[in-house]
């Protein structure tokens, strides 16, 4: 009986920890926001191939619209 209570408590704590991890938003991305910044971004992303070519126009739009996300600075010594 002790093992059963312990298992129930452990399961509850695991579920609570998992729910907390799923709700964090470390990069400040609005939930439910659009995945693609524009139609041009959608066209580039769905173009076939492993490394699709990026045109000059697409490159300029990608910088303005933030296609590649937010740059996160880090120190190499801080990594494990």
In a domain, 61, yes or no: yes
Report the predicted TM-score, pTM, of the whole model to 2 decimal places: 0.43
Query: Is 45:36 a contact under the CB 8 Å cutoff?
Result: yes
- The token pair at 67 is 């296609």
Q: How far apart are CA 42 and CA 36, in angstroms?
A: 6
Is 43 domain-assigned?
A: yes
Q: Could you list the residue range(s) of the whole structural domain that residue 51 is in?
A: 35-66
Q: Decide if 11 is inside a domain.
A: no
How many angstroms separate the CA atoms of 65 and 67, rounded?
6
pLDDT bucket at 20, cuts 50 / 70 / 90? low
pLDDT in tens, 59-71: 898 888 888 877 7
Distances in Å between the Cα of 42 and the Cα atoms of 39, 50, 58, 64, 73 are 5, 15, 11, 15, 27
Question: d(Cα 79, Cα 76) in Å, to the nearest integer?
Answer: 6
Give the number of domains in the chain: 1
Whether 44 is in a domain gets the answer yes
């Amino acid at each position: 009986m002790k093992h059963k209570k312990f298992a129930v408590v452990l399961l509850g704590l695991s579920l609570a920890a998992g729910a907390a991890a799923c709700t964090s938003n470390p990069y400040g991305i609005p939930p439910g926001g659009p995945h693609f910044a524009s139609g041009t971004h959608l066209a580039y992303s769905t173009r076939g191939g492993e490394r699709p070519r990026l045109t000059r126009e697409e490159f300029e739009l990608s910088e303005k619209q933030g296609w590649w996300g937010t740059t996160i600075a880090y120190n190499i010594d801080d990594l494990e």
